[in-house]
């Protein structure tokens, strides 16, 4: 598994500049190692949507110490391709997740928290013709 530093060295080789010009972008992609220290961490940002998120965080372009301006997207695409050999979508990752029963368990809380529904439920419980309001 490549370290952000090595990805940054690869960026320097491609576009010039210094490791410092690229390291933060590469750290962005690998920050998910904080919560999952194996290849599965990549499901959080190593996809087309993660590359778009990097543009949102770092801006559409990076100005290198050499003065050269390059698209942030290029750096994100480089990182993901170096790790995966391709740029998947988030849907590609999600399709690979094996669903477990706990993932689909949700509680219907609307009637307990929505004032409009609480009133509707309490009104519907009254005998016909009565009104509590």
Instruction: Delimit the domains of the chain by residue range.
Output: 4-104
Q: What percent of the chain has pLDDT over 90?
A: 70
> 77 burial class (0-12, 13-18, 19+ CB within 10 angstroms)?
middle
User: What's the confidence (pLDDT) of residue 128?
Assistant: 63
Contact status, residue 40 vs residue 94, Cβ threshold 8 Å: no
Token readout for 80 is: 């993901």
Cα gap 28→101, rounded to integer Å: 31
Write the pLDDT tens digit of every residue in 62-93.
999 999 999 999 999 999 999 999 999 999 99
- Using only the alpha carbons of the chain, give its radius of gyration: 24
What band does 123 get if pLDDT is binned at 50, 70 and 90? low
SS3 85: coil
Which segment of 11-20, 69-78, 123-132 scores lowest on mean pLDDT? 123-132
């Amino acid at each position: 598994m490549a370290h952000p530093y090595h990805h940054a060295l690869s960026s320097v080789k491609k576009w010039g500049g210094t490791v410092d010009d690229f390291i933060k972008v590469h750290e962005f992609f690998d920050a998910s190692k904080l919560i999952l220290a194996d290849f599965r961490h990549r499901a959080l940002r190593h996809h087309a949507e993660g590359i778009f998120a990097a543009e949102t965080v770092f801006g559409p372009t990076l100005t290198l110490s050499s003065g050269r301006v390059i698209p942030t997207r290029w750096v994100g695409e480089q990182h993901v391709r170096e790790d995966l050999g391709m740029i998947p979508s988030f849907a590609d990752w999600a399709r690979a997740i094996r669903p477990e029963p706990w993932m689909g368990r949700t509680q219907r809380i609307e009637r307990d928290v929505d004032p409009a529904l609480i009133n509707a439920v309490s009104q519907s419980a009254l005998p016909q013709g009565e009104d509590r309001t």
